[in-house]
Structure 1
Amino acid sequence: MTTPFPTSHVPPAPRRAKAGARITLTLASLAMLGPFTIDTVFPAFTRIGAEFGGDEVALQQLVSAYLAAFAVMSIFHGPLSDALGRKKVMIGGLVIYLIGMFGCVLAPSMGTLILLRVLQGMSAGAATIVSRVVIRDMFSGSEAQRLMAQVMMIFSVAPAVAPIFGGWLLLLGDWRWVFAGVGVYALLVLVLTVRLPETLPPEARTPLRVRSLLGSLAHVGRSPVMLRVAAASAFGFASQFLFIAGASIVVVRLLGLGERDFWVLFIPLIIGMLSGAWVVGRVADLMDRSRLITFGFVGTVVTTVVNLVLVSFAPEFTGGLSWGLLLAVIGPMLIAFTVALLFAPIQLEVLDLFPHERGAAASLGTFFGLVLNALLAGLIAPLVTTGLVALGLTSLIFALLGGGFWVWHLRVVRRPVAA
């Protein structure tokens, strides 16, 4: 499946048997940077639009511009970490991210704000993507899956906490307080990252040459196995992320709630993600990774169907807590649970496809999902949030696509080789 590298480029064996609390917290904090960057800003959309005269579509670009830049640069963060080391790339990315975040506090126009979001997107992946590689560098087998699940459990808190945190920051003043608050969080993450060990020693690194970096990406990117697994992961996660990408429209317009009511949607999502990640950690020694991913995809198709049925029969919303509102958030919670079952193990599946080029594999494995997420935030979510039924149907389509790519992958890898 992969072409062996010279002995000097073979990655070292994992050096730890168990993950301590500090390492787990640091890696989870790095992973949470992305959700905090996206979701904390949602409650501030109304005030940003009022100050700069931006409509719903323009405001959604604050998310899609970040995600698009994140996607483009995600291709390079992993290979750079294969050449320079994991720690240097993560720290450099966080420093640039902080410049962009505090620049948002001083932004004089919507255009400037969007450009600064692009800078954040270009740099944030250095921390979030490479931190996944660090997990696989340090651990293997069930412990790697268990740590990935633990990181995801903590990471799962971010989508629920972030908009609530953003709403609280708005009590201090205008929308600029939201960006300042996230900047302080990123500064704390930088301090934690500085204390992390370097997990890729110099003798295991690839040459820092443009041709070498592009060659590594080309080698990984032209693998049919990689393309199938990455597509399965991207579409599977999209069935849940659709609700996050369109949260500003779903909560305010479809559910008739206010700018500090995002918890109504995000707390059920966090319960689902947290529960699913907990199950993944518990079954790490009991269930084959491939079987767990299959179980997650089957469950996601089922829960998206359940969600579609629930919202089809939900009563009209009156703008407050009601029976109809309960039915509208149960489905996303169930979808988040089943997506969590497949998310952590499929990340390890991607990394193990190319053990000598884990950085490049992490980058390209993430790239497909990020491109789809950017399209969800900037184009698809505004189009399908005409109603909860349209939103639910779109989620079901993504679940079917993800499951289809995974079944295709299983059939190919299990096909007997002709004598």
Structure 2
Amino acid sequence: MSTEPSPIEPTPTAPAAHRTDWHAPRWLQAVLLASLGTLGPFSIDTYLPAFAGIARSLGATPVEMQQTLSAYLLGFALMNLFHGALSDALGRRPVVLAGVAMFTLTSLGCALTDHIGWLIALRALQGMSTGAGMVVSRAVIRDVYPPDQAQKMMSQVTIFFGIAPAIAPLVGGWLFVHLDWRAVFFFLTLVGCAIWLGVWRSLPETLAPDRRQPLSVRSLWQGYRELGSDRRFWLLALASGVPFNGMFLYVLGAPSFLGELLGLQPAQFFWFFVSTIVGIMVGATVSGRMAGRIEPRRQIRMGFLIMLLASLLNIAGTLLLPLHPLWAFPPILLFSLGWAVLVPVVTLMVLDLSPERRGMASSLQATVGSLANALVAGVVTPLVMHSALALSLTSAGLMAIGLLAWVWHRRLLRRDPRPSTHPAA
């Protein structure tokens, strides 16, 4: 990754008069954007190890503790629909700064509260704020860079995105054991302050005033209607969002998959998460190196072929071999690698479906992904997590949904080749 400061140049769809400079190394840009994108999941995984301590301290029931998570996820999903549209109207920078500021204040409130009701309410507000970073950071990348460079940056962000789920529980668990549960939220407050200062000092406004959309109910409705009626959007959103759950399924079912089926001790779970993260990081690195060298649609096809191979190996290993981590983990690693190869390209294609409303496109894509994750977490995983064969078949099925969506998208383009700013479309 380059360490030279890189100027922000307008993409071919941006007015030439709007030019700003981002005086930071490329890797630091990726870290800041990745921090914005991972703030939501990071704030979930960090406080989960402190569940029992929070319940004892506040006298909360298991149902009330579950509501602290459900309220967060509900707020996150609800506001995902609006963060991007707001950034299309008001600019990227004010929406991100407001979102991170609210996250920081609500984290501090969570650390200071003495009542479970207030904790639930604050977590709902926290969820409503964190989506701003994830949604808007994607739009920022495409505002700034032409397709090849945007793919490289998106790949770098994906690398950092893969690290956060591994670090968050370790940090949260250490803080809870050595201090107490309030320290977890004080830590999130400091994280929010650091990200806010980073955005305030380093992130320029990337959306020119003459490219902003009117902030009115009529304008928003028109934008949502146009994008929501575009079959290409739904097919691309399914192609990127659903296959992710082919590996996320194993993460959600880790206690049963690793503990019951593979017979591992909790201390040994670490190796499974490491293998998954390595797959994401390697795949994202490969995706970045492919940018500008091969056609994006070939790269997407390659990603799906890797996931298909991983799925077949996973099913065959489950049927023919006794369960063992040595051959249970590699197919999942390979699957995550294939997903990381294709997702930066597909994400950029979604954003380029509506160059004038990239924030809204990012919002809707995030909402589709969140709904798919919620369905798999709440309905699918509990049904299959006690059987290795059911897990492998379900994982393959989720990948197949994404693959079929991509094939349908390609056929649709052959019949209706509408113009796009992305060369893969």
- Pick the TM interval, shorter chain: 0.7 to 0.9
* Residues 1:237 and 2:244 are matched in the alignment: yes
Letter in 1 for 2:145: F
Residue of structure 1 in register with 2:42 after alignment: 36
Measure how far apart 1:313 and its partner are: 5.5
Q: Which runs of 5+ in 2 are unaligned?
A: 1-12, 418-425
One-letter amino acid of the structure 2 residue matched with residue 350 of structure 1: V
Report percent identity of matched pairs.
41
Q: Are the structure 2 counterparts of residues 284 and 150 from structure 1 closer, same or farther at C-alpha, using a change threshold of 3 Å?
A: same
The 1-side partners of 2:196 and 2:408 are apart by: 41
Separation in 2, partners of 1:24, 1:60: 33
**CA spacing shift, 1:159–1:339, aligned 2, 3 Å:** same
2:96 maps to 1:90: yes
Q: How many residues align?
A: 400
Q: Please identify, of 110-119 and 345-354, the stretch whose mean Cα deviation from structure 2 is larger.
A: 110-119
- Measured after TM superposition, the shift of residue 190 of structure 1 is 1.3
Instruction: Report if the CA contact (8 A) 1:68-1:374 is conserved.
Output: no
Q: Distance in 2 between matches of 1:344 and 1:124?
A: 21
Question: Which range moves more in the overlay, 249-258 or 347-356?
Answer: 249-258
Aligned pair 1:131/2:137, yes or no? yes
Q: CA deviation at 1:62?
A: 5.0
Q: CA deviation at 1:141?
A: 2.0
- Please list, as runs of the form range in 1=range in 2, the aligned pairs for 1:28-177 lying within 5 A after superposition: 28-48=34-54, 63-108=69-114, 112-177=118-183
Give the aligned partner of residue 263 of structure 1.
270
Amino acid at match of 2:414: R
Q: How has the CA–CA distance of structure 1 residues 240 and 179 changed in structure 2, closer, same or farther, with 3 Å as cutoff? A: farther
Kindly state the Cα deviation for residue 68 of structure 1 after the two structures are TM-superposed. Answer: 3.4
The residue number in structure 1 matching 2:393 is 393
Q: Contact 2:257 / 2:386 at 8 angstroms: preserved in 1?
A: no
Change (3 A) 1:388 1:119: farther
Identify the residue that residue 6 of structure 1 maps to in structure 2. none
Structure 1 stretch 42-51 or stretch 210-219: which is displaced more?
42-51
Where does 1:314-329 land on structure 2 (aligned, <5 Å)? 315=322, 324-329=324-329
Q: Which amino acid is 1:171 matched to?
A: V
Go from structure 1 to structure 2 and tell me whether the alpha carbon gap of 1:65 and 1:397 turns closer, same or farther (over 3 Å shift): farther
> Partner of 2:371 in structure 1?
371
Q: Which amino acid aligns with 1:349?
A: M
Structure 1 counterpart of 2:337: 337
* Deviation readout 1:354-408 (Å, 9 max, x if unpaired): 1111111111122111111122333333333223333222211110111111111
1:281 corresponds, among 271, 278, 288, to 288
Aligned match of 1:197 in 197, 200, 204? 204
Matched letter for residue 263 of structure 1: F
Paired residue secondary structure (1:198): coil
User: What is residue 12 of structure 1 aligned with on the other side?
Assistant: 15
Q: Secondary structure at the match of 1:40?
A: helix
Asked whether 1:354 is paired with 2:386, we answer no
Is 1:300 aligned to 2:313, yes or no?
no
Q: Is the 8 A contact 1:235 1:402 kept in 2?
A: yes
Residues 117-126 or 76-85, more deviating: 117-126
Contact 1:66 1:121 survives alignment (8 Å)? yes
Please provide the CA RMSD for this pair.
2.8
Asked if structure 2 preserves the Cα contact closer than 8 Å seen for 1:129 and 1:366, the reply is: yes
Aligned to 1:4: none
Structure 1 Cα separation of the partners of residues 48 and 316 of structure 2: 28
Q: Structure 1 residues 16-25 or 125-134, which shifts more?
A: 16-25
Higher alpha-carbon deviation: 342-351 or 103-112: 103-112
Which moves more between the two structures, 244-253 or 95-104?
Answer: 244-253
**Is the 2:104–2:188 contact (alpha carbons within 8 Å) kept by the matching residues of 1?**
no
1:153 Cα deviation from its structure 2 partner: 1.1
Aligned-pair CA distance for 1:60 = 6.1
The one-letter code of the counterpart of 1:203 is D
What TM-score do you get using the length of structure 2 for normalisation? 0.85
Q: In structure 2, do the counterparts of structure 1 residues 244 and 19 end up closer, same or farther at CA, with 3 Å as the change threshold?
A: farther
Deviation, 1:156, is 1.3
- Please give the per-residue CA displacement for 1:198-239, whole angstroms capped at 9, x wherever unaligned: 001222211122221222122211111111111222212221
Q: Which runs of 5+ in 1 are unaligned?
A: 1-9, 317-323
Which whole-Å CA distance do the structure 1 matches of 2:385 and 2:54 have between them? Answer: 21
Structure-2 change in CA distance of 1:100 and 1:227 (3 Å): same
CA shift for structure 1 position 169: 1.9
- Tell me the TM-score normalised to structure 1 length: 0.86
Verify: 1:182 aligned to 2:185, yes or no. no
- SS of 1:67 mapped into structure 2: helix
Distance 1:216 1:405 in 2: 23
CA separation in 2, counterparts of 1:339 and 1:63? 27
CA distance in 1, matches of 2:316, 2:69: 29
Q: Which piece of structure 1 moves more, 113-122 or 396-405?
A: 113-122
Q: Distance in 2 between matches of 1:233 and 1:100?
A: 31
Give 3-state SS (helix, strand or coil) of 1:386's partner: coil
1:414 alignment partner, SS class: helix
Q: Quote the Cα distance in structure 1 between the aligned partners of 2:109 and 2:27.
A: 33
Secondary structure of the corresponding residue to residue 207 of structure 1: coil
User: Contact between 1:156 and 1:274, CA under 8 Å: does it hold in 2?
Assistant: yes
Structure 1 partner of 2:225: 218
Counterpart of 2:50 in 1: which secondary structure? helix
Paired with 1:151 and 1:66, the residues of 2 have a C-alpha distance of 24
